[in-house]
Amino acid sequence: MGSLQLKSIRKAYGSHEVLKGIDLEVKDGEFVIFVGPSGCGKSTLLRTIAGLEDATSGSVQIDGTEVGHVAPAKRGIAMVFQSYALYPHLTVKDNMGLGLKQAGKPKTEIDDKVGKAASMLSLDPYLARRPAELSGGQRQRVAIGRAIVREPKLFLFDEPLSNLDAALRVNTRLEIARLHRSLKATMIYVTHDQVEAMTLADKIVVLNAGQIEQIGSPMDLYNRPANVFVAGFIGSPQMNFIEGARLGDISAKTIGIRPEHMALSRESGDWKGKVVHVEHLGADTIVYIDSEQVGLITVRLFGEHRYAPDDIVYATPMVGSMHRFGDDDRVLA
């Protein structure tokens, strides 16, 4: 079991409000990701759930029990930190077993659980080593192992992959996805990387300036962003935003269209423009176009294309791919 309810969580440092009333429900076994730009309050929210920070007001319930005044160790949670936060003077085995030891569990039980977690993460050969003798990826696996050993109701991940290099990041991401499937545990994960969010999450919570902008499955957010912020945050390259008036649509303030939802042609099309820059990525070609009618836009084409700067091209949006946003930046029905 591991469900979580947040009710109007507020957190202020002095007069500066970091969280402005967060309501959220996480069901047992869900993988929920908090995503948002730096300083949006996502880490603070995670720390509030962990009990490392006290909310100024609001309630946190784990499995229906109010935990506002419960110490972090007694909340049934485990946390994985960005900086690994391994105890430098303890061996891998002791690092993983410390929580259980503090809880007064018998030694045989601790050894058993540490052994299981270690084999799950292929850490067996390193059990006697100290953190300083491990690579970054191994350290993060130990940190994940330390969380597994506690058999928590909630796993909390605070940007666990940010300190790893690109290749390791992909591997560890797969590892976490695999763990979630095999443990069927509730996981809450903070990241600013939308690729991690899209690939891992059952449910993404987009935060901005201390407020929830939208909650939904990855494809929900991609296909039906609720507002300009979410539309711009999810998807890479970023969605093109064009003033509604430029397209003759006076009811919409902004019209959004994803770079991959446009076709490009040298002969004819809706918007004429000049190529400013081209990025060849192999699988994709990203073309930046300066168009008289709609301004600077980005078009993402699949495969290789031979466009060069100063070419004259025509871009055409695909039918039904436009997102229309009103004066309050919210999506229009």
Partner 1 sequence: MSKARDSFLRTGFVHVALIAYTLVSLFPVFLTIINSFKDRNAIFRAPLTIPTPQTFSLIGYETVLGQGDFATYFQNSFIVTIVSIALVLLFGAMAAFALSEYRFRGNTVMGLYLAIGIMIPIRLGTVAILQGMVAANLVNTLTALILVYTAQGLPLAIFILSEFMRTVSDDLKNAGRIDGLSEYSIFFRLVLPLVRPAMATVAVFTMIPIWNDLWFPLILAPAEATKTVTLGSQIFIGQFVTNWNAVLAALSLAILPVLVLYVIFSRQLIRGITAGAVK
Q: Which of 15, 64, 71, 319 binds partner 1 (CB under 8 A)?
A: 71
Q: Which is nearer to partner 1, 190 or 226 (CB)?
A: 190
Cβ 157 to partner 1 shortest distance, Å: 12
Report the alpha-carbon angle 152-201-82, nearest 5: 60
Paired strand residues for 212: 207
Burial class (CB in 10 A: 0-12, 13-18, 19+), 270: middle
Q: Measure the CA–CA gap between 259 and 241, rounded to whole angstroms.
A: 10
What is the per-residue burial (b if ≥16 Cβ within 10 Å, else e) of 212-232? bbbbbebebbbeebbbbbbbe
- From residue 312, alpha-carbon distances to 221, 278, 308 in Å are 33, 13, 9
Q: Which is nearer to partner 1, 47 or 113 (CB)?
A: 47
Binding mask 204-233 for partner 1 (x = CB under 8 A): ------------------------------
Binding status of residue 89 toward partner 1 by CB under 8 A: yes
Q: Which of 15, 38, 102, 268 binds partner 1 (CB under 8 A)?
A: 102
Q: Which of 1, 52, 128, 174 binds partner 1 (CB under 8 A)?
A: 52
Selected range binding partner 1 among 69-77, 177-185, 218-226, 254-262, rule: CB under 8 A? 69-77
How would DSSP label each residue in 128-161?
TS-GGGS-HHHHHHHHHHHHHHT--SEEEEESTT
Q: Which of 17, 20, 25, 81 binds partner 1 (CB under 8 A)?
A: 81
Q: Measure the CA–CA gap between 140 and 168, rounded to whole angstroms.
A: 10
Cβ 79 to partner 1 shortest distance, Å: 5
- Residue 155 near residue 185, CB atoms below 8 Å: yes
Q: Which of 85, 177, 215, 322 binds partner 1 (CB under 8 A)?
A: 85
Helix (H, G, I), strand (E, B) or coil at 203: strand
Q: Which of 1, 73, 195, 219 binds partner 1 (CB under 8 A)?
A: 73
Cβ 264 to partner 1 shortest distance, Å: 47
Helix (H, G, I), strand (E, B) or coil at 296: strand
Q: Which is nearer to partner 1, 142 or 287 (CB)?
A: 142
- Sequence-distant (6+) residues with CB within 8 A of 37 are 192, 208, 233
126 to 165, contacts with partner 1 by CB under 8 A?
146, 150, 158
Q: Which of 48, 82, 214, 227 binds partner 1 (CB under 8 A)?
A: 82
What residues line the site for partner 1 (CB under 8 A)? Answer: 47, 50, 52, 71-74, 77-79, 81-89, 98-99, 102-103, 146, 150, 158
